[in-house]
Amino acid sequence: MHYVDIADVAKLVAKNHYTVLMIGSRIYETIEKNIYILHKKLLCSTLDQVKRLLMNDSLIKYLIELAKYESLVIHDLIGNLVGKGFIDMVITTCIDGFLPKVIGGKVIEVLGNIRRFTCVKCGSTVDLNEALNTKFKCLRCSNFLRPKVLLKGEGISKSVWSEVLMEISMADVLLICGLDIIEPITYLPIVAKFSNAKVIEVLRKGEECLFRDHVVVTDDFLKFFKGLVGYLIAS
């Protein structure tokens, strides 16, 4: 395991390398607690559990909170790095829907997006605000509107997974930040390593490595991205 600093990461990313960023909800643990809790509650629940959470209101306050923001500072920093061509693709286990707002098609949301809901019966699709307004009831057939998110026990679709594998196999540099520990996503750094990518993990102090290759230790992820933008763009 090599410890590297933000300047080293900037050098790798700055070269003419295909850089893929894999990012997950653990980035929010210190920077936006409510969004972190929303992920925690959703990603380990089954459809029945989510239905109960939505019906007894214990998720609603987090969803209302989420709907208030267009993006957070961390997404704008990532958007900047993508816009300037330093990051070529983002693969995310976040379901908050922020990144597509900021970087459009340059992101694969492996687990879906909580800003979209679909009827379990007729398949009609609505956005988060409409689902909140109708209390998760389909206006066409009165059945339950579920989030378009992969819940516990649900598999990643073949088309999404092949898209992910293609990106990983093209990566010269794979940068990992706060990824959610969900199989088979946790195996992707190994796939990247097989295709000779440099795998860089950004960890907060005390956090355990997924894959011991190049490691950056930081106080929080926001600070890391601010540093990276500082090296690559602002300076």
Positions touching Zn ion (CB under 5 A) are 119, 121-122, 138, 140-141, 143
Closest distance to Zn ion from the beta carbon of 116 (Å) = 14
Pair 218, 224: CB distance under 8 Å:
yes
Pair 90, 20: CB distance under 8 Å:
yes
Q: What is the CA radius of gyration of the chain?
A: 18
Nearer to Zn ion, 54 or 216 (CB): 54
Nearer to Zn ion, 51 or 106 (CB): 51
Of 158, 203, 155, 157, which Cα lies nearest the Cα of 179? 203
Nearer to Zn ion, 71 or 143 (CB): 143
Nearer to Zn ion, 36 or 136 (CB): 136
Closest distance to Zn ion from the beta carbon of 47 (Å) = 15
Distance between CA atoms of residues 3 and 103, nearest Å = 30
Closest distance to Zn ion from the beta carbon of 112 (Å) = 18
Cα dihedral angle (173, 176, 180, 181), rounded to 10 degrees?
Answer: 70
Closest distance to Zn ion from the beta carbon of 144 (Å) = 9
